[in-house]
């Protein structure tokens, strides 16, 4: 059965135009990392200024994650209706307003509301940039492109944390939000200038000017244009009116439910490991400075792991790399408590654990983009991320309750290993080739190819 034309050069190479589009998405994700974790950077200063309790501060820290979950579930699907590029610009605007409002907040309630608003923009934006990066990648380099998105978020958070220390000391905590808002506004210029609309979306939309817009993109990329657009099948037009229910239609139900389970488990595990490992290392007998070192190594391992996943997936099928990363994660989680008696081995294990868990998340993002056809791709990826974010929000609460109930670090890590083992088994059933697209490319349509 023929497929819609794809904007891909080949499995061996990609044009500079495509890499530039992916690069813009990476930059946007770096800003997202800064925007969503800025509350963690300013927490101590905010707590001191307003004399907040630990519970009140915890609500502020969770507000951004709550907004991200809502944004991924309910804003990201609009990328399938109005276009990826328009939604990216709208979400950047929402996040910018949230950052400005946070800088002007006069109490914790106002700040919390602004953090939710920022999270709404970031949640929709993350889903759409991952979809765009996937759609502008050739099959061979798609895993690397999506991995760079994940790395961008982590790098943005790390660099933002270092810069926040200087800004808070010099100008106070509000300056961090002001700088974040300024950077977000600047990114709108970059998006307008260099981020194209998804060709897959334009083909699927059937808009009167779609062919002209596609051919303008083709000329910028040095590729041959389409002679005509494919005819949209009636079953596709029916599906586009009910995108979310289509995720649970018989053809996609298994992939959708499996992806929701995988994102839920892996984001729960990621936030357990990154949020609690420094404290649990101290509980196991290490000094606070060594516990903090373990947390830093987890983040460094995350950056390495996402990049490593991308390069491996360019040579090995994404599904195999994902399954391997999950099974190695199971072993590291189960064995980590036994390494706590030796500082060097424990820190090395933490580095490897960060690599594997972040590699798993990059793999899930790449797989989610492959699991859905164009007309519901943003909806599918957004729903998976949104469901996963509920795990991220629940993780600190559940782990804290288990610690209060007397669970030891060994118990917690083994329990996490069991959860990831369940996820690894489920991952083996996932389809990791591109989802089938509706048929009907007319005979006079010219598929873009390298000149």
pTM greater than the 0.85 cutoff = no
Is residue 317 classed as helix, strand or coil in its secondary structure?
A: coil
CA–CA separation, 422 and 326 (whole Å): 10
Domains and CATH numbers, the chain: 16-243 (1.20.1250.20), 245-427 (1.20.1250.20)
pLDDT at 8: 44
User: Would you say the C-alpha torsion 99, 100, 105, 110 has a positive or negative sign?
Assistant: negative
Q: Roughly what angle, to the nearest 10 degrees, separates helices 253-283 and 318-335? A: 30
pLDDT band, very low/low/confident/very high, at 288 (cuts 50, 70, 90): low
Which pLDDT tens digit goes with each residue over 160-214? Answer: 777 887 888 889 999 999 999 999 999 988 888 888 888 878 877 777 888 888 8
pLDDT band, very low/low/confident/very high, at 332 (cuts 50, 70, 90): very high
**Residue closest to 387 by CA, chosen among 242, 240, 266:** 266
Measured in whole angstroms, the distance separating CA 444 from the mean position of its chain's CA atoms is 38
Query: H or E element: which one contains 374?
Result: none
Measured in whole angstroms, the distance separating CA 451 from the mean position of its chain's CA atoms is 34
CA–CA separation, 100 and 256 (whole Å): 36
């Amino acid at each position: 059965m023929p497929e819609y034309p794809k904007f891909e050069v080949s499995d061996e190479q990609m044009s500079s135009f495509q890499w530039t589009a992916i690069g813009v998405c990476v930059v946007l994700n770096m800003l997202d990392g800064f925007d969503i974790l800025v509350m963690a950077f300013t927490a101590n200063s905010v707590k001191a200024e307003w004399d907040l309790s630990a519970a009140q501060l915890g609500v502020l820290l969770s507000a951004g994650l709550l907004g991200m979950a809502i944004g991924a579930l309910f804003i990201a699907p609009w990328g399938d209706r109005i276009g990826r590029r328009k939604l990216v610009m709208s979400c950047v605007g929402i996040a910018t307003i949230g950052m400005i409002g946070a800088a002007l907040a006069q109490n914790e309630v106002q700040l919390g509301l602004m953090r939710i608003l920022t999270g709404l923009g970031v949640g929709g934006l993350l889903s759409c940039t991952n979809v765009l990066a996937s759609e502008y990648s050739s099959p061979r380099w798609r895993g690397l492109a999506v991995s760079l998105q994940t790395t961008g978020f982590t790098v943005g958070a790390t660099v933002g944390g270092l810069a926040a220390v200087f800004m808070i000391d010099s100008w106070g905590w509000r300056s961090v939000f002001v700088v974040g808002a300024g950077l977000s506004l600047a990114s709108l210029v970059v998006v307008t200038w260099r981020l194209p609309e998804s060709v897959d979306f334009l083909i699927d939309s059937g808009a009167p000017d779609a062919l002209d817009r596609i051919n303008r993109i083709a000329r910028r990329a040095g590729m041959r244009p389409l002679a005509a657009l494919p005819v949209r099948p009636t079953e596709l037009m029916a599906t586009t009116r009910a995108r979310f229910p289509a995720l649970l239609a018989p053809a996609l139900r298994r992939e959708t439910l499996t992806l929701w389970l995988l994102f839920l488990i892996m984001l729960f595990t990621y936030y357990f490991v990154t949020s609690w490992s420094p404290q649990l290392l101290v509980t196991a007998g290490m000094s606070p400075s060594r516990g903090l070192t373990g947390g830093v190594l987890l983040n460094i391992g995350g950056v390495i792991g996402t990049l490593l996943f991308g390069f491996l997936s360019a040579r090995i099928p994404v599904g195999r790399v994902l399954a391997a990363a999950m099974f190695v994660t199971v072993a590291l989680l189960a064995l980590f408590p036994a390494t706590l008696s030796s500082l060097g081995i424990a820190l090395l294990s933490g580095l490897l654990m960060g690599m594997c868990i972040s590699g798993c998340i990059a793999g899930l993002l790449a797989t989610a983009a492959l699991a859905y056809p164009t007309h519901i791709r943003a909806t599918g990826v957004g729903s998976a991320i949104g469901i996963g974010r509920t795990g991220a929000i629940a993780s600190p609460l559940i782990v804290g309750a288990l610690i209060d109930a007397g669970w030891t670090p060994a118990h917690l890590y083994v329990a996490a290993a069991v959860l990831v083992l369940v996820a690894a088994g489920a991952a083996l059933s996932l389809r990791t080739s591109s989802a089938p697209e509706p048929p009907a490319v007319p005979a006079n349509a010219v598929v873009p190819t390298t000149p």
